[in-house]
Structure 1
Amino acid sequence: MRSNDSRASRSAALVAAVALVATTGALIGAQSASAAAGCRVDYSVGSQWPGGFNATVVVTNLGDPVNGWRLSWAFAGDERITQSWNGSHTQSGAQVTAVNAAWNGAIATGATVSFGFNGTSGAGPTTPSSFALNGTVCTGSTTTTTTTSTTSSTTTTTTTTTTTPQPSRPMVENNFPVTREGAYGDNRFTVFRPSNPQAIDRPLPVLAFGNGACAHTNNSEVTRALTFIASKGFVVVDTGSVDGSPNGVPSGSPIPSLLTDAITWAEREQNRSGAVLRQRLDLGKVATAGHSCGGLEAMVAAQDRRVSGVVSLNSGFFADGSFGYPRSEVGKLHTPAMFMDGGPSDIAYANNQATYDLATVPAVLARQPEAGHGGFIGGSQLTDGMTTVVQFLDMVLNGNQTARAYILSPSGLAAKAPWVVASKNF
């Protein structure tokens, strides 16, 4: 009996040992992987007119980095998209799918991408109730999925962490140190940028700027103004070599292609190995601006589909089509625009007013009667003028509501004497 008991005890021990090894092996073989997905969408109708409207969509990625985006939604009414930019779209009935352009497919965690479109609507546009980014419904929170695998089974655990959206900080509140440098590989341009773009938590919008008198070699007149704009979180690419040396470009007449070339330079820099701006630019948020003759360059260059906003400083198209660009060019604008002048003493006063009057896009007329022709660029109105530029661009490119109130509310810029402000189509 003792012999049988001993054999039974050894068998039981062996079975237990095998079970222990199997269990341990399963635990050792366990693997887990986590992925976080989440997004927020800010949809705004910038302007509307009988039978049509203009809208901007800003997507914030709250989850892991995205490489290639697809945003889908359904219109509630009879809206139909007729034209889009900073992305492409397809529409079947009420269902819409928008996909990234070649330059704005990557969205880092916490970063944003924006695109816009014109549409038709007989009943008037409404805000879609739901959006999905790459199949994930955008709720303003993140969902973390953890998968644990063993040799015998797979367990999937899903947890949801709610992220409370924080109000967007207006760009005008930033005050980054600025570096002014020649554009890499192209001495037609000077770059004004935050000195340490890697330390900024969001990609930087791009502004292509044209100088007064269409000065294409020397930008010393606008250095203070553009340094101010860059300190708020923009990368400004300005015409002119960094030291004022000849760069093969004649001055005195508009060359709008210089500004579109400046945007192309930014696209190359976004992907150049070793560039300080590599993957730090938001190429879905591009604007043009310019002073006087440079304002003509900015308005013509703004016809480029990569552009989402334009600012004309002390400029405007001439009634006689001087410089080769008649006032009919205004009808080619497809983005919101701001037209600034310095009052009756500004030589561009009448042209600026006429250009604003002809605009069919969402438009702002901002007039400071004490600024004259050069006050915004180099006079005592520089800070006030450049603050207005930054607020307008923050409103248009980022959909910032604080900036929108500053530009459009009666208690904003219009309440600051002696400013006179008008707007339409917003």
Structure 2
Amino acid sequence: MTVFTTVPRVRPKVALVAAVAMTTALTAAGATAAAAPSAAGCRVDYSIGSQWQGGFGAAVTVTNLGSAVTGWQVAWTFAGDERITQLWNGSAAQSGAQVSVTNASWNGAIATGGTASFGFNATSGAASAVPSAFTLNGVACTGSVTEPPPTGDSLVGNNFPVTREAAYGDNRYTVFRPANPQAVGVRMPVLVFGNGACAHTNNSEVTRALTFIASKGVVVVDTGSADGSPNGVPSGSPIPSLLTGAITWAEREQNRSGAPLSQRLDLTKVAAAGHSCGGIEGLIAAQDSRVDAVVSLDSGLFADGSFGYSRAELAKLHTPALFMAGGPSDIAYDNTRANYDLVTVPAVLAMHPQAGHVGFITGNQMTDGMTAVVQFLDMVLNGNQAARSYVLDPSGLASKYPWTVSKKNF
């Protein structure tokens, strides 16, 4: 991939304009403070001003039609062999014909009705054409402003303040939940989560990611004590019963008088998940009849039965499954793909080549990765049709560069 980072430069407007309306995806920046969902929409004017033998110059203007944005990324696919050689007022990344341009440090904020512009020069073996489609912040063009999804049963539009606390009466677990369960308005689904390295005491590595999920109206019960204190559970090897035990803990809290979560849980909507070694815990725990969905992050059962579980266990899954991998640099890349190939349940394989093994949990891909997880849970647990489109349709996650998405049995 070629990446260009440039200094500010202003170019005049030029001819051959293609105006394209598109929507933006606005992602909440913080999971600990409430933020209202935002309407999104924009128009892109792509102009080819001059062409010469072997190259051309172009200018792009983005007009924000929705709520104010604080950062933008425009992406498209060239029709031919065009290669950007110089770009101003932003930074460009190009892999083959796929291009994404991200705002500079000084022009990321665009008010409603405001604009941002960038331009570039490129090489081309033939006369360049205006690209036929664009995305803005990963969402395909729709031609209109998109209103935010509703809160309530739909997870994707929520952004509740989050409380992280020790599980009542059981030092093996930490709970991430909306701070005011009554404000959610509906009973909340439950996600039980296993940590990377099968860490059963310290869950600090996943705190940001699980806070994000909880902010959407999900109660997350994670292995490990809230303060990292010893809890009598050894780390380093999968203990799937910890996750099924977390479901049992949630069942007790549902009926414990005076508990913050009393009668606030929807125990018909339970998911198991985990990262790396914790993903093995999730895949085995998901065989429990109380589980309705499973998410495997940078994980998978080994061909040689390492950690005591063979790939034959995959045949026991009974729920839809999401497998996510960070590309060839992810040490679980081959395992993730092999597990996806073997399962017979409805399954999705989503890969982000820049995420590596921990990008979804601690890296720059955390928001994108956890958004994909939330959308999958929203699709499976709530039957949300917008989430289904995001996960399964070519115009959804698959259109967000550089993701690749496969699906089967849906």
Alignment TM-score, normalising by the size of structure 2: 0.63
- Rounded Cα–Cα distance in structure 2 between residues aligned with 1:342 and 1:331: 24
How far does the alpha carbon of each residue in 1:281-329 deviate from its partner, in whole angstroms, 9 at most, with x for none? 0000000010000000000000000000000000011110000001111
**1:10-409 equivalence runs, <5 A:** 170-409=154-393
Answer yes or no: is the 8 Å Cα contact 2:153–2:382 preserved in 1: no
Deviation (angstroms), 1:214: 0.1
- Rounded Cα–Cα distance in structure 1 between residues aligned with 2:218 and 2:151: 19
- Rounded Cα–Cα distance in structure 2 between residues aligned with 1:320 and 1:169: 41
- Rounded Cα–Cα distance in structure 1 between residues aligned with 2:327 and 2:201: 29
For 1:416, the equivalent position in structure 2 comes to: 400
Q: 1:174 to 1:255 in 2, by over 3 A?
A: same
For the residue of structure 2 that corresponds to 1:173, the secondary structure is: coil
- Rounded Cα–Cα distance in structure 2 between residues aligned with 1:219 and 1:265: 18
How far does the alpha carbon of each residue in 1:120-159 deviate from its partner, in whole angstroms, 9 at most, with x for none? xxxxxxxxxxxxxxxxxxxxxxxxxxxxxxxxxxxxxxxx
Kindly indicate which of the two structures has a greater share of residues assigned to helix: 1
For 1:61, the equivalent position in structure 2 comes to: none
Deviation (angstroms), 1:194: 0.1
For 1:143, the equivalent position in structure 2 comes to: none
- Rounded Cα–Cα distance in structure 1 between residues aligned with 2:155 and 2:246: 22
- Rounded Cα–Cα distance in structure 2 between residues aligned with 1:326 and 1:302: 15
- Rounded Cα–Cα distance in structure 2 between residues aligned with 1:200 and 1:354: 38
Which letter does structure 2 place at the counterpart of 1:370?
Q
Answer yes or no: is the 8 Å Cα contact 2:152–2:185 preserved in 1: no
Which letter does structure 2 place at the counterpart of 1:393?
L
How far does the alpha carbon of each residue in 1:45-99 deviate from its partner, in whole angstroms, 9 at most, with x for none? xxxxxxxxxxxxxxxxxxxxxxxxxxxxxxxxxxxxxxxxxxxxxxxxxxxxxxx
Which letter does structure 2 place at the counterpart of 1:299?
L
For the residue of structure 2 that corresponds to 1:237, the secondary structure is: strand
- Rounded Cα–Cα distance in structure 2 between residues aligned with 1:325 and 1:167: 39
Q: What residue ranges of structure 1 are gaps of 5+ in the alignment?
A: 1-165
For 2:145, the equivalent position in structure 1 comes to: none
Answer yes or no: is the 8 Å Cα contact 1:343–1:369 preserved in 2: yes
Deviation (angstroms), 1:352: 0.4
Deviation (angstroms), 1:173: 1.4
For 2:53, the equivalent position in structure 1 comes to: none
How far does the alpha carbon of each residue in 1:318-371 deviate from its partner, in whole angstroms, 9 at most, with x for none? 110000001111111000000000000000000000000001000000000000
Q: What count of residue pairs does the alignment treat as equivalent?
A: 261
Deviation (angstroms), 1:413: 0.2
Q: 1:416 to 1:238 in 2, by over 3 A?
A: same
- Rounded Cα–Cα distance in structure 2 between residues aligned with 1:188 and 1:312: 21
Which letter does structure 1 place at the counterpart of 2:200?
H
- Rounded Cα–Cα distance in structure 1 between residues aligned with 2:162 and 2:391: 25
Deviation (angstroms), 1:172: 1.7
Deviation (angstroms), 1:271: 0.3
- Rounded Cα–Cα distance in structure 2 between residues aligned with 1:408 and 1:278: 35
- Rounded Cα–Cα distance in structure 1 between residues aligned with 2:408 and 2:368: 22
Q: What residue ranges of structure 2 are gaps of 5+ in the alignment?
A: 1-149
Which letter does structure 2 place at the counterpart of 1:255?
I
Answer yes or no: is the 8 Å Cα contact 2:153–2:186 preserved in 1: no
For the residue of structure 2 that corresponds to 1:258, the secondary structure is: helix
- Rounded Cα–Cα distance in structure 1 between residues aligned with 2:152 and 2:297: 27
- Rounded Cα–Cα distance in structure 2 between residues aligned with 1:355 and 1:199: 39
Larger Rg: 1
Deviation (angstroms), 1:170: 3.3
Which letter does structure 1 place at the counterpart of 2:212?
F
For the residue of structure 2 that corresponds to 1:253, the secondary structure is: coil
Answer yes or no: is the 8 Å Cα contact 1:414–1:421 preserved in 2: yes
Which letter does structure 2 place at the counterpart of 1:342?
G
- Rounded Cα–Cα distance in structure 2 between residues aligned with 1:244 and 1:167: 33
- Rounded Cα–Cα distance in structure 2 between residues aligned with 1:420 and 1:276: 40
For the residue of structure 1 that corresponds to 2:176, the secondary structure is: strand
Answer yes or no: is the 8 Å Cα contact 1:168–1:400 preserved in 2: no
- Rounded Cα–Cα distance in structure 2 between residues aligned with 1:260 and 1:249: 15
For the residue of structure 1 that corresponds to 2:156, the secondary structure is: helix
Q: 1:409 to 1:196 in 2, by over 3 A?
A: same
- Rounded Cα–Cα distance in structure 2 between residues aligned with 1:169 and 1:316: 30
